[in-house]
Amino acid sequence: MKHGGLVFAGIALMLLFAFAPLTAQSSSINYQTYMIDTFDDPEGQDWAYHAVGSKFITDGYPVLKYIDGMPNSLKVMQENPEKAKFLGMQVKFNRKGDNWVDIIPTKKGDKGLEAYEIPFKGRIHRLDMWVWGAGFYYYIEILVRDCEGRIHALPLGYVNFKGWQNMHVTVPTNIPQASRYLGNKNKLTFVAFRIRTSPGERVDDFKIYFDQFKALTDAYIDSFDGYELGEVDFEKQTE
C-alpha cells in the first residue's frame, strides 16, 4: 500500500506540472473582436483602396466602387443601416488562366498614392469578412506581412456561392506577429486582398463585394517594471 501511495503521488505531481503552464498561459489571454474596416466611411479613413490586375487584365479594369447597403444579416445589429456602405469590384480578363487581382490599401505620399500596410492590433487569432459571390469558381486570399518582413497568403476560400456569406481564416501560430525583442515595433500588417481565377473558369465579367473586415485578437499587454524603456530614443536624449 505504501508503495502504491508513492506511485499515485508521483503521478499527481507529474499532472500538476504538466497542466500548470496551460493554466498560466490561459490567464495571459484577452480575446477581443475589433473592426479593421467597415467600408462605411471611405472619406473618413486613413487609407483608400486601389486594385491592380495580372498580365491579361482587360483595359479599364479592375473597377472599385462603394455602394450603399449591407448584408441583411447585419442590419439587425446596426443603429443606422441606411448609412452603411460596402466595397465592390468588377474585373475582366482577356483570357482564361491563372489570373489574379489585388485590392491594396494606399495612402498619399511624396510621390502620390503609395501602398500602405494596415498594422493589426494585438496578436491576431482569426480574420473574417462578409463576401458576396456570384457562383464563380474564384479564390480569395488575405496577404499579410509578418514582423520579420515575410508575406504570407492566408486562404479565405472559394467564392463559388451566391449572395452574402461570412468567410473566415485562422492565422497559423507559426507566423511571427511580434518581435521577442523589446523596442522592435514591427508587427503583423495587412497587405492586400488577392482574388485568383481558376484556370477553366470564365473571366469575361466578374463582380464581388466586401463588407465588415474584422479580426479576433489577443489584446493582452505584458506589463513589467521598466516596460517604457524599450521605447526610449537615444538620439533625442539630452545630456
* Every domain of the chain and the residues it spans: 31-219
**152 Cβ neighbours under 8 A, 6+ residues apart:** 143, 144, 145, 146, 172, 175
Give pLDDT tens digits for 22-46. 433 445 788 999 999 999 999 988 9
Compute the residue count for the chain. 239
Which residue in the block uniquely carries the three cell numbers 474596416?
Answer: 37
**7 Cβ neighbours under 8 A, 6+ residues apart:** none
Residue, of 108 and 78, whose pLDDT is higher: 108
Give pLDDT tens digits for 51-105. 999 999 999 999 999 999 999 999 887 777 788 999 999 999 999 999 999 999 9
Nearest C-alpha neighbor of 50 from the set 112, 97, 140, 96? 112
By the 8 A CB rule, do 154 and 169 touch?
yes
Please determine, looking at this structure, whether the domain spanning 31-219 carries the CATH number 3.40.50.300: no
Q: Which residues of 155-175 are buried (b: 16+ CB within 10 A; e: fewer)?
A: ebeebeeeebeebebebeeeb
